Amino acid sequence: MSVRRLEKLRSKFDELQVDGMLIASPHNRRYMTGFTGTAGVVLITLDDAALITDFRYTAQAEEQAAAFRTIRQGVKLSETVKETAVAMGIERLGIEKHLITLDTFLTYEEELKGIRLVPVKDVVESLRNVKDDDEIALIKKAAGLADKAFEHILTRVRPGVREREIAAELQYYMQTGGAFGFAYSMIIASGERSALPHGVASDKRIGNDEFVTMDFGANYEGYLCDLTRTVFVGKPSEKHKEIYNIVLEANMTVLERIRPGMSSKEADSLGRDVIGKYGYGDYFGHGLGHGFGLEIHENPFMSQQRETELLPGMVLTVEPGIYIPGFGGVRIEDDILLTETGVEVLTRSDKSLICL
């Protein structure tokens, strides 16, 4: 795994005009090395790769990052980085400008005299956009755990239950079922609060005759999933059913038509046009979806402002919604894998209007 990723990164050095890369961000460090510790930096050249970490993690690093030399950090991390970079013969060092503080950059600039720092952006992230087989397998595990959790939580959603209780039950169920944790702060929003796209679980009690939107995900060995289902407690009105069916049509239309080679803007329009034709375009204010993996929000982002080409191997959410202040809202979100010919839907929870 690490060897293939090293080769892909090294192939970018000429374009970046560097002969080495310094990687300090946790997600990129983990992606490149497999190391899951919380401290350390990576130095990579065309013929060498080193993981610098402190005494707490050296044994772990040696086990998890077999393709890298493990170097124990000295008193100051910057000094160890300098010693290692000089020994590796680095003259132009790429550094992730968007993921370090100005203070850290200035420290390295001072310590690494004689080595030119070359600010770069989204280099490792561009590799992470397209998932490999190992990543896809882990994401599928996470999605399966979320699907099981949704089926379970349907037995707990009822009037009088607090949104926070639903979130706690989902977390407990996923973790006891094999998840390493939950993917993000769960969105459990009922009644009028379901019109809040990011209505994090509150102390509100679920009432009668209202939507309940549940947006949650599992973490499986560091890889995440992102599932949203909206259910109804009580008997839905014609307007509740209308809104739900429009969002479902938008979701299904995207799943049927999205393909590699489209731009992220074109994909966004697939769902947005459905909602717009029914007159609810002003109530769908966020993008259609986004990539995810080690982080819950990764490139590409599908919106009217993005023109990224969609490629086989990308894993994306498809999450159209309608949010009407004072009334409520609906979001239906699936996770998909783009294949050479179309899509594979990774989340399989029921999308019919479930009334509890």
The DSSP-derived string for 276-324 is: HHTT-GGG--S-SEEE-SSSSSEEEEESTT--PBP-TT-EEEE--EEEE
Which among 255, 213, 253, 248 is positioned nearest to 232, based on CA atoms? 213
Q: What is the value of pTM for the model shown?
A: 0.95
Per-residue pLDDT at 341: 86
192-225 burial by CB neighbour count: b if 16+ within 10 A, else e? bbbbbbebbbeebebeeebbbbbbbbbbbebbbb
Rounded to a whole number, what is the largest CA-CA distance in the chain? 72
Phi first, then psi: give them for residue 346, nearest 5 degrees: -90, -25
The answer to whether the beta carbons of residues 231 and 355 sit under 8 Å apart is yes
Regions in the chain scoring below 50 on pLDDT: none
Q: Which domains does the chain have, with CATH numbers?
A: 2-128 (3.40.350.10), 133-345 (3.90.230.10)
C-alpha to C-alpha distance for 111 and 274, rounded to whole angstroms: 56
Beta partners for residue 158, in sequence order: none
Per-residue pLDDT at 2: 76
Provide the pairing of β-strand 343-345 with 334-338.
Answer: antiparallel
The DSSP-derived string for 197-228 is: TT-B--SPBP-SSEEEEEEE-EEETTEE--EE
Query: Is 172 in a helix, a strand, or coil?
Result: helix
The answer to whether the beta carbons of residues 235 and 209 sit under 8 Å apart is yes
The answer to whether the beta carbons of residues 289 and 317 sit under 8 Å apart is yes
Evaluate the CA torsion angle 150, 151, 153, 154 in order and state its sign. positive
Residue 279 neighbours by CB distance under 10 Å = 9
Which among 221, 238, 266, 216 is positioned nearest to 230, based on CA atoms? 216
Residues 6+ apart with CB under 8 A from 163: 188, 189, 190, 193, 201, 202, 203, 204, 205, 206
Residue 127 neighbours by CB distance under 10 Å = 18
Residue 121 neighbours by CB distance under 10 Å = 11
Q: Which helix (H) or strand (E) holds 187?
A: strand 187-190
The answer to whether the beta carbons of residues 323 and 196 sit under 8 Å apart is yes
Provide the pairing of β-strand 92-96 with 116-120.
Answer: parallel
Distances (CA, A) of 168 to 150, 161, 197, 349: 13, 12, 20, 20
The answer to whether the beta carbons of residues 57 and 65 sit under 8 Å apart is no
Evaluate the CA torsion angle 62, 67, 72, 78 in order and state its sign. negative
| DSSP alpha helix (H) spans, the chain | 2-10, 13-16, 26-33, 58-64, 77-87, 102-111, 123-128, 133-153, 163-176, 238-257, 264-277
